[in-house]
Amino acid sequence: MEIWINPACSKCRSALTLLDAEGADYTVRRYLEDVPDPDEIRAVLDRLGLEPWDITRTGEAVAKELGVARWPKDAGSRDRWVEALAAHPRLIQRPIITAEDGTAVVGRSEEAVRDALGRGKPARGR
């Protein structure tokens, strides 16, 4: 299990606290420092079952500068969105938890984090 976090994000810190409380075995990826490339973003989107615009933080200043709110949300524009997420990782919704069953969740609620835990194997704490 891997969790993409921004340490300054309260939702990320809450997810980590819950993972620790449940004794989950996971790896932390500080995605603002260890930026995912476009292929990694596509793979996570496939695992999430979402499109790039579904995980884009449109309220971020850079989103407004880029004008993403006006970008088409269609298959032909998918790569443009993915490239923007890779170039500006602050746009990526967080935390993202990849589960051991090959799926992923955006862990912004306790329920979503528990869902990810339920998809993985019980493991030891960190």
Among 2, 9, 47, 100, which one carries the catalytic annotation? 9
Question: Under a CB-based contact definition with an 8 Å cutoff, are residues 72 and 64 in contact?
Answer: no
Measured in degrees and rounded to the nearest 5, phi and psi for residue 49 equal 75, 30
Q: How far is CA 21 from CA 8, 24, 113, 125, in A?
A: 20, 8, 12, 8
Rounded to whole angstroms, the Cα distance separating 16 from 5 reads 9
Is 12 one of the catalytic residues?
no
Which residue numbers are catalytic?
9
